[in-house]
């Protein structure tokens, strides 16, 4: 990672804002938040692995019925997946199609990245909004899963809504950083 962007093989996408600018300060705060969330997500993945291992061992060795383990592990995995998306986006780690990269000029690639980020931002805004509406419905209606354990569905919906909101904010910051970086040139 350079001071001005993330190396994506053939192209470099500008993501750095001017040092000391409001966008730069927000980026630093978001980076700290992302790192803290990744630690929590890593722990959640370890706990999910332990729960699933316990479930398998309990069924195999003790013929014990397990009714909560699979769903608890799924909730942890859903939370880890959604909450870590902003961290992955900060490093431009999501899948990207770069078929045009070699054919475009540096300016053309910067424009391509801007258009992709803008489209991603709009999609994630919609996804975040729908996630918050699902959370609201689950909370108001007292929705629970269909399993014997029946945990409330607001738990995974809250992680999905928060994760998509953080991803949307991360993309917005990358757009603002690119614009801020271009203004300083």
3-state per-residue secondary structure call for 29-83: HHHHHHHHHHHHHHHHHHHHHHHHHHHHHHHHHHCCCCCCHHHHHHHHHHHHHHH
Angle (deg, nearest 10), helices 154-183 and 106-141: 150
What's the rounded Cα separation, in Å, for the pair 132 and 103?
40
Q: What is the pLDDT of residues 144-161, one digit of tens each?
A: 999 989 999 999 999 999
Reported as a single tens digit per residue, the pLDDT across 31-62 is 999 999 999 999 999 999 999 999 999 999 99
- Look up tokens 């045009």; give the residue: 100
138 vs 5, higher pLDDT: 138
Predicted confidence at residue 138, as pLDDT, reads: 98
Of the pLDDT bands very low, low, confident and very high (cuts 50, 70, 90), residue 3 is very low
More confident residue, 6 or 86: 86
């Amino acid at each position: 990672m350079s001071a001005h962007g993330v190396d994506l093989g053939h192209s470099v996408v500008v993501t750095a804002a001017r040092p000391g600018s409001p966008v730069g300060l927000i980026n630093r705060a978001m980076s700290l938040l992302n790192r803290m969330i990744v630690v929590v997500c890593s722990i959640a993945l370890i706990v999910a692995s332990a729960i699933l291992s316990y479930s398998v061992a309990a069924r195999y060795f003790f013929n014990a019925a397990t009714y909560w383990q699979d769903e608890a592990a799924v909730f942890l995995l859903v939370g880890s997946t959604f909450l870590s998306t902003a961290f992955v986006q900060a490093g431009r780690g999501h899948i990207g199609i770069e078929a045009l990269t070699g054919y475009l000029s540096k300016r053309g690639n910067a424009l391509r990245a801007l258009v992709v980020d803008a489209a991603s931002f709009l999609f994630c805004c919609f996804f975040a909004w729908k996630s918050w509406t699902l959370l609201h419905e689950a909370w108001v209606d007292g929705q629970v899963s269909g399993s014997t354990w029946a945990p409330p569905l607001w738990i995974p919906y809250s992680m999905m809504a928060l994760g998509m909101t953080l991803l949307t904010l991360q993309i917005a910051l990358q757009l603002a950083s690119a614009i801020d970086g271009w203004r300083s040139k």
